[in-house]
């Protein structure tokens, strides 16, 4: 996939949003490991985190290749992601896994939407990006299932379970929503500049 044969606005938006999401996921797992790293569930969280590190590395490479700027909220996701991971982990294994289930479900849903969008545009043209997104989507779903296998639904207190799930879902949607709005603002700003020049 080269710069010459793709819809740059669409690719920029996808890469920026996914990079922010994977960065946030990394910070969540970092927070969970800070609390639960030395417990019996530590190796499980570490394995999922290692995959998230691979995801982030790939999107870092795509950011450079396509000259995409990261979201300006990276410092915010850094703090909020870690706090969300550590905060839910303080509720125990179940709290951490409830957060994982919610976040990974949100990210997988988002990846599915991107796959549909790229398939509608031109699946052959975007095959390389589609392969990346499909692979990462499948791994996010694995993390979701691992969370369920490790008692995500057994937080013990329904309000706490709801809070973990809601915070995780809001985090995932917040990353996507802000990046999409920023991309649209950037595109509109560019159009206004073009009209001014004309």
**CA angle 147–176–160, rounded 5-degree value:** 40
**CA angle 115–173–181, rounded 5-degree value:** 85
Binding residue numbers for Fe cation: 22, 52, 55, 104, 140, 143
Q: Is 151 left (phi over 0), alpha (psi -120 to 50) or beta?
A: left
Sign of the C-alpha dihedral computed for residues 76, 73, 44 and 169 taken in this order: positive
Binding residue numbers: 22, 52, 55, 104, 140, 143
State both tokens at 193. 């500049």
42 and 36 Cβ atoms separated by less than 8 Å = yes
Q: Which residues of 118-139 are buried (b: 16+ CB within 10 A; e: fewer)?
A: beeeeeeebeebbebbeebbeb
């Amino acid at each position: 996939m080269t710069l010459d044969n793709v819809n740059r606005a669409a690719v920029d938006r996808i890469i920026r949003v996914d990079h922010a999401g994977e960065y946030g996921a990394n910070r969540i797992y970092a927070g969970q490991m800070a609390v639960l790293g030395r417990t019996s569930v530590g190796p499980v969280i570490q394995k999922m985190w290692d995959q998230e590190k691979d995801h982030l590395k790939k999107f870092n490479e795509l950011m450079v290749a396509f000259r995409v700027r990261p979201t300006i909220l990276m410092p915010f996701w850094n703090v909020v992601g870690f706090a969300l991971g550590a905060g839910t982990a303080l509720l125990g294994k179940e709290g951490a896994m409830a957060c994982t289930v919610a976040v990974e479900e949100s990210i997988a849903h988002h990846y599915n939407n991107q796959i549909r969008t790229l398939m509608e545009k031109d699946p052959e043209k975007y095959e390389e990006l589609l392969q990346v997104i499909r692979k990462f989507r499948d791994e996010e779903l694995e993390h979701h299932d691992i969370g369920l296998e490790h008692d995500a639904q057994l937080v013990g207190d329904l309000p706490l379970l709801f809070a973990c799930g809601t915070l995780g879902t809001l985090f995932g949607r917040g990353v996507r929503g802000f990046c999409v709005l920023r991309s649209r603002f950037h595109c509109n700003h560019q159009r206004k500049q073009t009209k001014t020049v004309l």
